[in-house]
């Protein structure tokens, strides 16, 4: 039996080709795509404007990704909800709904695990298991919407900042962003999509040529190569000079300002002299710096900087003309740091642990 086609992996033009291969009219593609994304259909029977014969044919030849909710945790202040979704092979992936005054945002994961090895992150514990397909990334957004409380169906922005290095799963992530942006679907503007990377230089340069004006966010976390080598092993492959040159090129091609994420770690990267070094490091860039109070990970042992240290660091940057904000804390009480909830789930008796998913 040939493998069934996952429809949420297909852009509208690809869906047209698939339907033509079944001997169907290609205009049905727009109907099906709208059912999947606008209406959130998880079965062919729900697609009531399709002929019954077509629905039967689709059930024989295609599938619809429908991630089950394994766990749900809501922050006490109601601003953040963390979901753990089940995947084939007994694995799981995390997503976060963030409720803002300006609308709802969903943070998605792009891989099961991660191979970047960042020293303060829970996602890399156990390494990379596998990449997620576009359907599995897209259905995180759709599943959050399916499970949202009344009046929360609209998703206004997407943050690709969950488990995994998005640019290490380049083709699937770019297709996911195009799926989210398509006007036949949920139609999230590219400028409302933020992608965070640890700094894969060739992929940053490739992304600049895609003609998708998203917000690029760089996980920087250190103002020099020596410290960044220690915190982020990717820096040994693409040191700061190469990374920042790629960021300048990205800004030139896209006209979009790059954001630099900087996790504030007590006694490690939060001194005022390091703030001054960061100013010199970012000279000539349009970039905005986002200071992030570290979300502590039990297995890592790092602690967040004090509020006073973060404020001193911010003041140094601002006094030297750097655009800087301190990220408002969301979800500390629900283990919102990437990978924490998944690790708790996988540690349960009988779970697969960190093994590779061969399904």
Active-site annotation, residues: 94, 338
Sequence-ordered list of residues with C-beta below 8 angstroms from that of 215, at least 6 positions apart, any chain: 191, 193, 194, 195, 256, 257, 259
Alpha carbon of residue 88 to chain centroid: 20
Contact call for residues 2 and 169 (beta carbons, < 8 A): no
Side-chain-facing half-sphere of 233: CA atoms under 13 Å: 10
Task: Find, among 261, 251, 134, 276, the residue nearest to 199 by Cα.
Answer: 261
Backbone φ and ψ of 273, nearest 5°:
-65, -30
For residues 198 and 146, the answer to whether their CB atoms sit within 8 Å is no
Find out whether 106 and 139 touch, Cβ atoms under 8 Å: no
Secondary structure E strands in the chain: 5-6, 62-63, 69-74, 80-86, 92-100, 103-108, 111-113, 128-131, 157-160, 193-197, 215-219, 259-264, 288-293, 323-326
Residues 6+ positions from 117 with CB-CB distance below 8 Å: 124, 232, 233, 234
Closest CA to 195 of 163, 169, 175, 167: 167
Q: Return the SS3 of 136.
A: helix
Mode of pairing for the β-strands spanning 128-131 and 111-113: antiparallel
């Amino acid at each position: 039996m040939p493998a069934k086609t996952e429809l949420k992996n297909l852009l509208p033009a690809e869906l047209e080709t698939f339907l033509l291969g079944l001997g169907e009219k290609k205009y049905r593609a727009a109907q099906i795509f709208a059912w999947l994304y606008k209406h959130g259909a998880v079965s062919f029977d729900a697609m009531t404007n399709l002929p019954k014969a077509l629905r039967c044919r689709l059930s024989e030849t295609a599938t619809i990704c429908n991630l089950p909710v394994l766990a749900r945790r809501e922050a006490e202040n109601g601003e953040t909800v963390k979901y753990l979704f089940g995947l084939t092979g007994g694995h799981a992936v995390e997503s976060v709904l963030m409720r803002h005054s300006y609308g709802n945002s969903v943070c998605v994961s792009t891989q099961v695990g991660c191979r970047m090895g960042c020293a303060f992150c829970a996602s890399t514990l156990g390494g990379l298991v596998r990449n997620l397909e576009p359907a599995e990334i897209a259905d995180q957004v759709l599943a959050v919407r399916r499970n949202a409380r009344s009046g929360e169906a609209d998703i206004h922005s997407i943050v690709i900042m969950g488990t995994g290095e998005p640019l290490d799963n380049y083709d699937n992530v770019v297709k996911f962003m195009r799926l989210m942006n398509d006007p036949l679907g949920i139609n999230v503007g590219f400028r409302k999509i933020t992608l965070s990377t640890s700094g894969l230089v060739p992929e940053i340069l490739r992304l600049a040529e895609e003609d998708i004006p998203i917000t690029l966010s760089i996980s920087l976390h250190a103002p020099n190569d020596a410290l960044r080598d220690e915190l982020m092993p990717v820096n040994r492959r693409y040191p700061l000079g190469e990374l920042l040159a790629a960021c300048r090129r990205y800004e030139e091609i896209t006209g979009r300002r790059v954001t630099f994420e900087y996790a504030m770690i007590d006694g490690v990267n939060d001194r005022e002299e390091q703030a001054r070094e960061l100013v010199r490091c970012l000279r000539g860039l349009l970039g905005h710096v986002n200071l992030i109070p570290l979300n502590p990970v039990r297995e890592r042992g790092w602690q967040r900087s004090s509020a006073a240290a973060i404020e001193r660091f911010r003041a140094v940057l601002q006094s030297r003309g750097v655009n800087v904000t301190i990220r408002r804390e969301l979800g500390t009480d629900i283990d919102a740091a990437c990978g924490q909830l998944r690790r708790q789930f996988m540690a349960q008796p009988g779970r697969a642990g960190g093994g590779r998913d061969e399904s």
